[in-house]
């Protein structure tokens, strides 16, 4: 239940951000790299990856940070196991617009 509420709140915040950025009248292009992806595309991908992770019961997404640059997703933070890391990577790869996934996730030593 709590996870669902967080997911909904996060999705609404992202939607608000995207809508508010979409109304810009600036004439300068928003492209951020050679691949031609804009920063808003990267923000959308990041939001989608975080939402997918938050909605998955096998991944503790609250301990995973996600950033995106030119469609390349980088995940950092702490996971409980190699299986959780692999699941997070698998989920991120399935998100539309993701070109690659890099992981610097760590597993605490007991």
Q: What is the pLDDT of residues 18-54, one digit of tens each?
A: 545 554 444 344 444 545 667 779 999 999 999 999 9
pLDDT of residue 51: 97
pLDDT of residue 91: 98
pLDDT of residue 110: 75
What CATH code is assigned to 2-23+36-106? 3.30.1340.30
What is the chain's mean pLDDT, rounded? 81
75 Cβ contact partners less than 8 Å away, ≥ 6 residues apart? 49, 64, 65, 66, 88, 89, 92, 101, 102, 103, 104, 105
Q: What's CA 46's distance to the chain center, in Å?
A: 3
> What are the sequence ranges of the domains in the chain?
2-23+36-106
pLDDT of residue 13: 60
Predicted TM-score of the model (pTM):
0.67
d(CA 53, CA 7): 9
Q: What is the pLDDT of residues 88-100, one digit of tens each?
A: 999 999 999 999 9
Mean pLDDT of 102-108: 96
């Amino acid at each position: 239940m709590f996870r669902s509420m967080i997911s909904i709140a996060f999705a609404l915040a992202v939607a608000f951000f995207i809508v508010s950025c979409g109304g810009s009248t600036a004439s300068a292009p928003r492209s951020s790299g050679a691949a031609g992806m804009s920063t808003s595309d990267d923000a959308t991908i990041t939001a989608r990856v975080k939402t997918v992770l938050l909605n998955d019961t096998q991944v503790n997404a609250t301990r995973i940070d996600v950033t995106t640059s030119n469609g390349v997703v980088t995940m950092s933070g702490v996971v409980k196991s190699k299986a959780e890391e692999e699941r997070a990577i698998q989920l991120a790869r399935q998100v539309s617009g993701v070109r690659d996934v890099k992981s610097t996730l760590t597993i605490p030593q007991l």
